[in-house]
């Protein structure tokens, strides 16, 4: 779940910084229609502008941040047969999927994982862990790479960004409404905006952003099934099923990938209860069952 987690973390940081900046510049105070009430139409327009901008900035930074977060080694020139095979496989699958050849890299991690990211389908990155290359069979790796190519070809990151932009819009909008309520009703501030508004809206924005991420995660879970189908088509169905089964066995071990990056990977670990609501991937047993039915 590397791709989604990093995207969400970056987006949250941008939204918090933007919120503080807007307050310091006095933009919030300009959204009062009469010095007392909020100008809801202007507030909604401002929320949409900054909400969509935050999501797209996160998207543009995704590949750069992913490379540095996992200490990725991008393959410029293959140095051995394994790297040559990896490049040939990705090139073939990219051609089949109708996208340009993405960058290919290996990141040093014993846990089996892989991810794809990038701001558009023709400027993407596909990466696989050293542990997966060591332990998985070629047809299993081929299916996993097809899964990641599927994410790219299906435009999942762009769609995710649009969804996140809409979510950001409402987070910014309602956090200001909540801050305004706290300032007027609880702090009894009758005109202008006081400390209750600034702290209330900032706190509400952080909390609402975390809660709203459940919507993004729900979309991510849906797209995993389609990416599994791509893995079966670009690789093989048997290889995809066996790869998921192997990941299921290895999921008993604790993740070595940073939490903020897990959503981009093929393996996000296990989630139960409320954690499952914020998981970017469906349970592996459900993915295996769905793939076997097709």
- Tens-place pLDDT, residues 42-80: 888 888 988 898 889 888 888 998 898 899 999 999 999
pLDDT band per the 50, 70, 90 thresholds, residue 286: very high
Is residue 283's pLDDT more than 80?
yes
Mean pLDDT estimate for the chain:
84
How does residue 39 score in pLDDT terms, banded at 50, 70 and 90? confident
**Span 151-166, average pLDDT:** 91
**Closest CA relative to residue 148, chosen from 161, 134, 132:** 132
9-35 per-position pLDDT tens digit: 777 777 777 667 666 655 665 566 555
Q: Is the pLDDT of residue 185 over 90?
A: no
Q: What is the pLDDT of residue 260?
A: 40
Beta-carbon-side half-sphere exposure of residue 166 (alpha carbons within 13 Å): 7
Q: What is the pLDDT of residue 75?
A: 97
Cα angle vertex 104, ends 98, 106, to 5°?
145
95 noted as active-site residue = no
| Residue 130 reports pLDDT greater than 80 | yes
Name which of 142, 100, 98, 96 is nearest 118 in CA terms: 100
φ and ψ at 252, to 5 degrees?
-70, -20
**Coil, helix or strand for 190?**
coil
> What's the pLDDT tens digit per position in 186-215?
888 777 677 888 899 889 988 998 888 888
Question: In whole angstroms, what is the distance from residue 211 CA to residue 155 CA?
Answer: 24
Residue 261 has pLDDT above 50, yes or no: no
Which residues 6+ apart lie within 8 Å of 52 measured at CB? 165, 168, 169
Please tell me which residue in 103, 140, 142, 148 is annotated as part of the active site: 148
- What separation in angstroms does the CA of 124 have from each of 56, 69, 100, 148, 287? 15, 16, 8, 10, 25
Helix (H, G, I), strand (E, B) or coil at 126: strand
Domain ranges for the chain, please list them.
2-69+156-293
Q: Residue 259 has what pLDDT?
A: 44
Residue 187 is predicted with a pLDDT of 84
Residue-level pLDDT at 264: 43
């Amino acid at each position: 779940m590397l791709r989604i987690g990093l995207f969400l973390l970056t987006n949250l940081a941008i939204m918090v910084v933007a919120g503080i900046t807007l307050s310091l510049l006095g933009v919030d105070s300009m959204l009062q229609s009469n010095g007392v009430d909020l100008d809801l139409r202007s507030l909604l327009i401002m929320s949409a502008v900054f909400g969509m901008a935050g999501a797209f900035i996160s998207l543009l930074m995704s590949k750069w941040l992913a490379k540095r977060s996992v200490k990725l080694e991008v393959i410029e020139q293959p140095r051995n047969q394994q790297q040559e095979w990896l490049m040939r496989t990705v090139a073939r699958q990219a051609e089949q999927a109708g996208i340009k050849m993405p960058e290919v890299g290996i990141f040093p991690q014993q846990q089996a994982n892989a991810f794809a990211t990038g701001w558009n389908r023709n400027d993407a990155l596909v990466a696989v862990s050293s542990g997966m290359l060591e332990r998985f069979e070629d047809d299993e790796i081929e299916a996993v790479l097809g899964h990641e190519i599927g994410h790219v070809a299906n435009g999942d990151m762009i769609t995710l960004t649009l969804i996140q932009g809409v979510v950001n819009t409402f987070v910014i909008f309602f956090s200001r409404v909540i801050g305004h309520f706290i300032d007027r009703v609880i702090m009894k501030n009758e005109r202008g905006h006081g400390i209750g508004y600034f702290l209330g809206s900032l706190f509400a924005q952080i909390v609402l952003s975390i809660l709203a991420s459940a919507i993004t995660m729900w979309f991510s879970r849906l797209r995993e099934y389609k990416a599994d189908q791509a893995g079966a088509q670009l690789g093989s169905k048997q290889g995809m099923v066996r790869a998921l089964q192997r990941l299921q066995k290895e999921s008993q071990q604790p993740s070595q990938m940073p939490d903020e990056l897990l959503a981009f990977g093929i393996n996000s670990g296990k989630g139960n209860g409320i954690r499952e609501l914020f998981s970017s991937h469906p349970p592996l047993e459900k993915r295996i069952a769905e793939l076997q039915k097709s």
